[in-house]
Structure 1
Amino acid sequence: MTQKQPILLTETHHGGILVAFYKVLMDFCGRERGYDLFMTAGRTYGARRGRRMAMRAMRDGNPLDLTSYFAYGELLCNDEGLDDEGTYEAIPGTVHEHQTDCWWAREFRAMDCEQCGVDYCKEIDGAVVRGFNPTMGFERTQNMHLNSSCDFYFHSPEVKSDFMSTYESRLKPGQCVKREMAYHCADVYQMYCHVITQVLPKDAAGLIERVRAILSERYGKDFLPVLDSYSGTDFEQI
């Protein structure tokens, strides 16, 4: 599934794709309808990620618990320099994720669209969790676009104090379940295109062209061909 790329797509590009769709939808639809359309696509994208994680876990004979959720996480992050901005603390029954900065947030700010982060980030993690297992305990208590950090709490009786150093043992030796960021960029791009096409069939082509123009101007001529190289990918397939 990994493809040779003329440029390396990263979390920054993933954030930029979201901003491009956000700006175009808000401009065309207005705040209320644009928000509903943007968030519906984001939730559906997140749920699809969670479903892929769940299907891989079940394929391997593993339960849909918190250990599998962490073990089968897909994101393979490429951007460097923010390793110290996030922490995970496990206490019996709970994992606390604390993030004070991320490349998505930086790109939202750089593109003068922090509201995109306020809206998208308040639901994307919950959408992934629901796609994986909607009965799993999860809370989002803060968003760094409104506060000093993003804070998430994952609840499960299986969690012990050594959880963060042991959950990967759920995987087979040498097993890799991560997907490159170019895959995730194409996944979110495809989902937004799909939802827009379904909801606004007469206007979708023009709106998507506006999105592509924003992305090409920001990231250069080699960016769109990488996205388009995934056009035949079935993102439901594991």
Structure 2
Amino acid sequence: MDRKEIAEQFYMEEHAVLYALLVKAARELYGDKGELANVEGTIQYGRERGRRMALRALKDGEDLSPKNYLLYSEWVDDRKWSKKDVYAISPAFTTHCTHCGWCESWKKHGLLEYGNLYCSHIDVNLVKGFNPDNVLNIRSVLSQNGPCCDFEFEKVSFANQEELDAFNAKKRSLKDHTVKDFLYHTASELSAMDRVYQSILGKEAAEKVVSTAIAGFREKFGEEKTAALLEEAKQDFTVID
């Protein structure tokens, strides 16, 4: 099976489950130090994604405004696994996610207690990776018993629905340039977490964490997906193509 075919089999579930399996392995094998590595790895992963978004924006001659952060997002929910509504367009653009594909995937596999660490650190660090001056206020998240994922983007507003519609149309037009598939995202997550595990826990401990998580991933998703993931993870995710 070629890369395109196997990549189509990756989505939020694979991404969510791998993350939770990594967190579980590090936490159970190395306790508080493993948990520190989990937190720092999630921060690293978020910052790297944000920086890649920034590099694409700058390459296009765009500034690193909060609105361009939204424009240059690296993923899109084409399969509608999540439900996100616009709660306010001004004075600060605010969204409410009432059904989350990541959260549901963690629940499905009995991994919510490990996966919900993601929600504490990922989005604020995506924003900071794009531009340290930008601010995202997170007022609740589903995975931590909130009524929704309530995100308020400071200094982002739209005068009316027509302006928001035009913005969304521009975002769709950039999709082929900005959006990466979930094989890429799952592998970049593995790469970032592994590098931080090595830095904090040491190479041997990092290998143990990753091999434990990969064994769990293989059991759930099979050898073909696992092989594709490990091959994809060999690239440098700190640069853009």
TM-score w.r.t. structure 2 length?
A: 0.88
CA separation in 1, counterparts of 2:59 and 2:106? 36
1:186 matched to 2:187 = yes
Which segment drifts farther, 154-163 or 122-131? Answer: 154-163
1:126-137 to structure 2, matched below 5 A, reads 126-137=124-135
1:24 matched to 2:34 = no
Structure 2 residue runs of 5 or longer lacking an equivalent are: none
**Paired residues of 2:85 and 2:97 also in contact (CA < 8 A):** yes
Matched AA of 1:148? P
1:166 matched to 2:169 = no
CA separation in 1, counterparts of 2:28 and 2:97? 31
Matched AA of 1:61? G
Q: Residue 95 of structure 2 aligns to a residue in which SS? A: strand
1:1-238 to structure 2, matched below 5 A, reads 3-6=3-6, 8-30=9-31, 32-77=32-77, 80-82=79-81, 85-145=83-143, 146-156=145-155, 159-162=158-161, 163-168=163-168, 176-199=177-200, 200-238=202-240
Matched AA of 1:91? I
Matched AA of 2:181? E
Count of matched residue positions in the alignment of Structure 1 and Structure 2: 234
CA separation in 2, counterparts of 1:52 and 1:93? 28
CA separation in 2, counterparts of 1:72 and 1:28? 37
Residue 6 of structure 1, CA deviation: 3.1
CA separation in 2, counterparts of 1:215 and 1:34? 19
Which segment drifts farther, 225-234 or 212-221? Answer: 225-234
Alpha-carbon deviations, 1:27-80, whole Å to 9, x = none? 1111x32221101000110010000111111111111112211111001335x3
CA separation in 2, counterparts of 1:19 and 1:211? 9
Q: Residue 159 of structure 1 aligns to a residue in which SS? A: coil
CA separation in 2, counterparts of 1:172 and 1:4? 21
CA separation in 2, counterparts of 1:39 and 1:125? 13
Structure 1 residue runs of 5 or longer lacking an equivalent are: none
Residue 34 and residue 96 in structure 1: after superposition, are their counterparts in 2 closer, same or farther (change >3 A)?
Answer: same
Residue 172 and residue 113 in structure 1: after superposition, are their counterparts in 2 closer, same or farther (change >3 A)?
Answer: closer
**Paired residues of 2:13 and 2:102 also in contact (CA < 8 A):** yes
Alpha-carbon deviations, 1:90-123, whole Å to 9, x = none? 4233111111111210121122222223321022
**Paired residues of 1:46 and 1:125 also in contact (CA < 8 A):** yes
CA separation in 1, counterparts of 2:197 and 2:105? 23
Q: Residue 47 of structure 2 aligns to a residue in which SS? A: helix
**Paired residues of 1:122 and 1:140 also in contact (CA < 8 A):** no
Which segment drifts farther, 213-222 or 149-158? Answer: 149-158
Q: Which has the larger helix fraction?
A: 2
**What RMSD, in angstroms, separates the aligned Cα atoms of the two structures?**
2.2
Matched AA of 1:97? T
Runs of 4+ in structure 1 over 4 Å off: 168-175
**Paired residues of 2:66 and 2:155 also in contact (CA < 8 A):** yes
